[in-house]
Amino acid sequence: MAEIKPRISVEYSENATIVTFTDEKILEEKDIQAIQESIMSVVEQSERINLILDFCNVRYLSSAVLGLLIRVSKRICERESQLRLCNINPKLYEIFKITRLNKAFDIYRDVESAVKDLSEET
């Protein structure tokens, strides 16, 4: 039987919900679907959310993950909430630059700077 492991971990801080991707590789469609369901259920738990997506463990991702991020961003925007990405590996950041998604998302060096920015906005 296939091992089922968590795809994300969720941590709640004073003014943000931090979702950390636990896998090094996010490539399979079934994994991306599971991640989307998990993230969307976190987003739906509160009317407004300050969501930080932490990529500290991720080294490889498929282009479908970019679509997932866009869907999450759209849902966050509909809820008049905030989304931050952080800890993106330099090689992965190149993909964000090539696709110009670095302009569409607020990307931070680490969780602390993303949380700090949210604190300054509220």
The answer to whether the beta carbons of residues 30 and 59 sit under 8 Å apart is no
- What is the arithmetic mean of pLDDT over 26-53? 95
Report CA-CA distances (Å) from 61 to 19, 26, 40, 122.
16, 5, 19, 32
Determine the CATH number of domain 8-121.
3.30.750.24
**pLDDT tens, residue by residue, 72-106:** 999 999 999 999 999 999 999 999 999 999 999 99
Closest CA to 85 of 7, 21, 32: 21
**pLDDT at residue 3 tops 60:** no
Place of tokens 């407004």: 48
Question: What confidence score (pLDDT) does residue 46 get?
Answer: 87
Cα gap 111→86, rounded to integer Å: 6
Closest CA to 55 of 86, 14, 98: 86
The full set of domain ranges for the chain reads: 8-121
What integer is the mean pLDDT of 105-115? 97
Global pTM value: 0.93
Q: What value does the mean pLDDT take over residues 8-30?
A: 95
Q: How many CB atoms lie within 10 A of CB 73?
A: 18
